[in-house]
A and B are shown apart, each in its own frame.
Chain A
Amino acid sequence: EDKVVQSPLSLVVHEGDTVTLNCSYEVTNFRSLLWYKQEKKAPTFLFMLTSSGIEKKSGRLSSILDKKELSSILNITATQTGDSAIYLCALFGGGSNYKLTFGKGTLLTVNP
């Protein structure tokens, strides 16, 4: 069974700090790893990673996949209070399993 573990589960920082969120996984057939941000509504898509070592970037957010280490990180630089949310890592195992496997999420709180 595919498995996704995120750490830390919860993180409190001050505005302007840089944070790194971790996601490790176990999978039979890797297809892609996705990061989502969830505030009060449904998750919004951040990144999809399929290749190891290639950084994806969007503004202050970036993410990279390490297939050797079976892990991914999500970096947020110069955090703002609007970054406060739950960040979800999800694994798409492909093959006959078309379901996303979600981690429990990291609750990030950015204080002013």
Chain B
Amino acid sequence: GAVVSQHPSWVICKSGTSVKIECRSLDFQATTMFWYRQFPKQSLMLMATSNEGSKATYEQGVEKDKFLINHASLTLSTLTVTSAHPEDSSFYICSARGAAGDAQETQYFGPGTRLLVL
């Protein structure tokens, strides 16, 4: 299957700092990328959907000014957690999907980034 990478895999930071997480589709062009958040023993929660070159669509309750998403190219999306606080500590997972009709229409997940805000 297609490969989605995420970097970094672990982040520990101080409260008030901003953290950037990168998501790359390595062997296909991701027309749509998704950012999820997962708390321990809970389901994946979709935060936002982004299409290359356009603004992200945020799910209800997700602050767009706090979670900045940039989908600058067909292989790269970034999530920046601005002014992180301890309650932002979570497992952040990106996911990428190719164009409709492609084999890559399947949605593949990156390995996730664990964020711990002290």
Contacts and interface: CB of A to CB of B under 8 A. Distances in A.
A34 B106 contact: yes
A51 interface: no
A45 B108 CA distance: 6
Given A45-B1, A99-B34, A105 B43 contact: yes
Majority SS at the chain A contact face: strand
Interface residues of B, number: 21
A87 interface: no
A42 B107 contact: no
Which of the four size classes fits the interface of chain A?
10 to 19
Majority SS at the chain B contact face: strand
B107 A100 contact: yes
B23 to A, nearest CB: 11
Contacts of A42: 6, 91, 93, 109-112
B47 to A, nearest CB: 11
B112 A41 contact: yes
B44 to A, nearest CB: 6
B60 to A, nearest CB: 12
A102 B43 contact: yes
Contact of A99 (B49, B111, B112): B49
A45 B106 contact: yes
B57 to A, nearest CB: 9
B109 A43 contact: yes
A62 B55 CA distance: 38
Interface of A: 32, 34, 36, 41-45, 48, 88, 90, 92, 94, 98-100, 102, 104-105
14 contacts: A34-B106, A41-B111, A41-B112, A42-B91, A42-B93, A42-B111, A44-B109, A88-B44, A92-B105, A99-B34, A99-B46, A99-B49, A100-B95, A105-B43
Given A34-B107, A36-B109, 8 more contacts: A34-B106, A42-B93, A45-B109, A48-B106, A88-B44, A90-B107, A102-B44, A105-B43
